[in-house]
Structure formats: C-alpha cells, structure tokens
Amino acid sequence: MSGGDHMVRPLAFLFSTCTLLLLLSACQRLPAPEQSGELVVAIRKELSGEWGGQAQESSFERDMVRAFAERLGVSARFVEAVDEGELNRLVMEGRVHFGAPTWISDGNGLHYTSPLLETSQVVVGHTDDMGLESFPAELDGRTVEAMQASPQLEALHRLAGDPARFTVQARTAISDFDLLRDVVEHRVDFAATNLLTYRMALQFMPELDLAMTLPGKLYYGWAFAPQWKSLWRRAEDFIVESKQNKTIARLKDRYFGHIERIKAEDIAQLIQDAQTLLPHYRRYFQDAQEITGLDWRLLAALAYQESKWDPLATSPTGVRGMMMLTEDTADLLGVSNRLDARQSIRAGAKYLANLIGDLPSHIVNPDRTWLALAAYNLGMGHLRGGRSLASGMKRDPDSWFDMKKVLPLMSRPEYYARLKAGRARGGEAVIMVENIRTFYSILSRFEAPWQPGLKFGH
C-alpha cells in the first residue's frame, strides 16, 4: 500500500466524521414553528403546576404561550426545566424556541421580551423562628438558601458582605416550592424567593412568614437565543399588544388576583377544617358533582364561604344550612329541611348549576363560574343589573376582571338609581367570590378530583 493510501483513509474518515457531525447538527436544529406546526417552549417545572395554576395544564405562562402559538397558527409544546439554569441552557442549545418565563438579566447572550411579570425578592422564614430583632441583623450566623442560578442568590451574596455575616447556600434539582417546604419543616433556617411565589405558597403553607425584602425588582420575560431574533420580534409585538388589550392583566387576575385576600391564620384554619370537618361531608359534595357536573371542590369552597361547613348555620336574615339557602330557594329545589347537610349541598349545587346555565352561552370559564357565584350571593336580577351597568361604562360584562370593579358601585345611589332591580351589596359579592377562588385553589392542592368510577373507593 502506498503512503498516499495511508493519507487518503484518515482524510476520508475525517471528512466522513465532519459530515456526520454536520448532519447531526442539522437534524438536531429546531425548525421554525411555521415549518413544524409546533412552538416548543421551555417552562420551569413548578410554574406548570404550582405557580398560578390549579392543574398542570393551566397556568399564567401556559395560557400566554398558547395565545402566542394561536397567533402563529401552530400548537404549543412545553419542555419542563427544573430551574432557571436548565431553562436558559435549553434556550441556548436551541432545543426550544424560547423560555418562559425567566428573569431578565444582562450579559448572557439571550434576547428578552418586554416584562410580563414584575415582582420583588424576599427572604422567608418559619413563623416559629421569627425573632424580635430587625432584619437583616436577624440573619447573622444563620443559613439562607436560594436556588442555583437565581437572582436571589446574587442578592444574598451582596447582602452577606465580605467576610460573610451569614451563610448563603445554593440548592439545585428542586423547585422554589420545595425549598419553602423545607422552611416549613424546619430543615432550612431561611429561604430566598420571589414575592409572587411566596404569596402563592402561603395558600398551602401558612407557617411561612416574610422576613425581609431584598433590594431591587425582578422582571420576568420570554428569553430567546440569537438565532430566533425574528420570532423574538413577533413575540415582542404580541406582548405589547397583550398589554394594550388587557389580556395580560386579565390572566394575572385569573391566576394571581385572589391570593392576598385571606389571612394566613384563616388559611391555616381552612386546612385544619379540611382534615377534621370535610371528611364528614366529602361524599355529599361528590354526589352533588355527579348530579351537576360541578367540581366537588368548588362546591366545598362555596360551602366553606357560606357556613364554614356548619350544617346548622343560620344568619340574621334567615338563610340557613350548609349552603345558606333562603326559604324560597329551598322550596323551589324541594328541600324539606335546610339544616340537613345532604339536602342543602345538593340543592346549593343545583342552584349554582342553574345560575351558570342562565348566563349567556358565549361567556366562557372561569368567568362564567365567577359570575354565577356572584349571582348566588346577589341574585340573577341584580347581576343582570350590574352587567347592564358595566356595558354603559364601556366595561366588559362577560369578564369577572371588569365586573368585580363594577359590582361595588351598585350600593351607590348615582348608580343603582338607573337599575330596575335597585340597590345591591355588590361589594360583598366580590369579596365572596374572591374568597371562594382562594378556598377552591387551596382545596384543589389538598383534595383529589372526584371520578365517579372511584365512588366506592373512599
């Protein structure tokens, strides 16, 4: 064999290897959404289930991404990342079209949209461990944990100083909610997170307490690698438009609008009552779901707002029982004893289902449910009056986001004088609905959905 042959074979091998690598690179490169019919988006794992959504397929971010995908005429597919670092790697490696959401940071080579969310950074502790000293002095000699690659980690290192007054520890492979759960279970002294996550966590971890706010604001947007600059421009236009037409404001209200209305001690009481009182009535709520199709946890949340699950509850105005039915409503629904928990729950569920059915068919959920709950308190006549008032004020009568601003006006003479049904305590109805939204969110985290096929499994 000649020396030339010895040279040709390695060169041929090198050429083949390079060609293979190029082909693999081309195969792995994500096609444009319009080519594949699919928008692939990285999303942090806890956001898909815990930050603002009762179910894994429902959250602020998923709804925003789906709306953008619909604008592009494609479907959305989500790739879960365990933390901020993994999300950004997925974006930079070209395995997704963009990441949503991620905190807007300089100098990492990513292109960000305008912010969708703005929040603060906070340090959180257990209520039992909060001393009387002022923060950050209270942190001296203690350990504060934060997620790896998070803005909180950077802020803590700056606050700790050099030499460090307290220990800063980075955590990986868990979510912010897992970290906060470690605080509740006394495995961690303090944890740093963002204010929105803390407020969401308070709904099912009332033992948490705010220790201090870290300097600076956090802004969350969608992150794109440089090769998707044209897609970034379209996303930026979409977000600007979504701010102008109130889409973002409505979604914020849907997922976060109710989270500050209930005190921590009231949440703790609900969780305790769910363990002690609810088991006696769970079967009745589940039976009511089978009759009406309404989630039994929503019905339980309504009952908790009305009576705190007390079947003997009676108000000064004469409404009685678990679902606080008027005598007329009870007669209409065939209730012989309003203090019988089973009859009351079944009738209250039917009444709510009827109210939902009475609303115009074009109103979609969750607005449809929230408006029906307001009618449960006000009566459908007053709700119609409120909707008429909203239309006259150029507000959307089909949107709970708008209606909860209009209903309180119905107690003021300059507004109720125009209404056929007259004066109404619309502000009370708004508080009721917002409380039920919170109770429903909490119960949905602690109680499983009911499937009739499992009826005799309890």
Tens of pLDDT along 37-85? Answer: 999 999 987 654 443 434 456 789 999 999 999 999 999 999 999 888 8
In the block, which residue shows the tokens 């029982």?
A: 321
Token pair belonging to 155: 């802020």
Q: Do domains 8-117+222-256 and 267-457 have the same CATH topology?
A: no
pLDDT (0 to 100) of residue 69: 97
pLDDT (0 to 100) of residue 369: 98
Q: Which residues are catalytic?
A: 306
Asked which of 53-67, 291-305, 396-410 is least confident by mean pLDDT, the reply is 53-67
pLDDT digits (tens, 9 = 90+) for 379-388: 999 999 999 9
pLDDT digits (tens, 9 = 90+) for 230-271: 999 999 999 999 999 999 999 998 888 888 778 888 999 999
Asked which of 316-320, 358-362, 370-374 is least confident by mean pLDDT, the reply is 316-320
More confident residue, 412 or 138: 412
The dihedral over CA atoms of 56, 62, 66, 69, expressed in degrees to the nearest 10, equals -120
Does 120 have pLDDT greater than 60? Answer: yes
pLDDT (0 to 100) of residue 288: 97
**CA–CA distance, 434 with 261 (Å, rounded to integer):** 7
The CA-atom distances, in angstroms, between 443 and each of 251, 346, 351 are 21, 19, 21
Best-predicted range by mean pLDDT (65-74, 141-150, 445-454):
65-74
Does 436 have pLDDT greater than 60? Answer: yes
**CA–CA distance, 16 with 240 (Å, rounded to integer):** 48
Band of residue 318 on the pLDDT scale cut at 50, 70, 90: confident
For the 8-117+222-256 domain, the top CATH level (class) is alpha beta
pLDDT digits (tens, 9 = 90+) for 271-288: 999 999 999 999 999 999
Token pair belonging to 62: 């998923």
pLDDT (0 to 100) of residue 52: 40
**CA–CA distance, 435 with 433 (Å, rounded to integer):** 5
Q: What is the pTM of this model?
A: 0.76
Angle formed at CA 162 by CA 158 and CA 163, multiple of 5 degrees: 135
Burial class (CB in 10 A: 0-12, 13-18, 19+), 208: buried
What own/partner pairs with CB < 8 Å and gap ≥ 24 does 376-384 have? 376/302, 376/351, 376/352, 377/428, 377/429, 377/432, 377/433, 378/407, 378/424, 378/425, 378/426, 378/429, 379/421, 379/424, 380/355, 381/420, 381/421, 382/410, 382/419, 382/421, 382/424, 382/426, 384/421
The CA-atom distances, in angstroms, between 265 and each of 54, 205, 454 are 22, 11, 33
List, in order, residues 6 or more apart from 143 with CB less than 8 Å away: 166, 167, 168, 169, 188, 189, 190
Does 458 have pLDDT greater than 50? Answer: no
Q: At what angle do helices 229-244 and 247-256 cross, to 10 degrees?
A: 80
Which H/E stretch holds residue 89? helix 84-92
Does 147 have pLDDT greater than 70? Answer: yes
For the 267-457 domain, the top CATH level (class) is mainly alpha
Asked which of 173-182, 302-311, 335-344 is least confident by mean pLDDT, the reply is 173-182
Residue extents of the structural domains in the chain? 8-117+222-256, 118-218, 267-457
pLDDT (0 to 100) of residue 46: 63
**CA–CA distance, 411 with 427 (Å, rounded to integer):** 8
More confident residue, 16 or 369: 369
Beta bridge partners of 120: 217
pLDDT digits (tens, 9 = 90+) for 157-172: 999 998 999 999 999 8
294: closest CA among 213, 348, 219, 237? 348
Token pair belonging to 271: 């969780």
Domain 118-218 in CATH: superfamily? Periplasmic binding protein-like II (3.40.190.10)
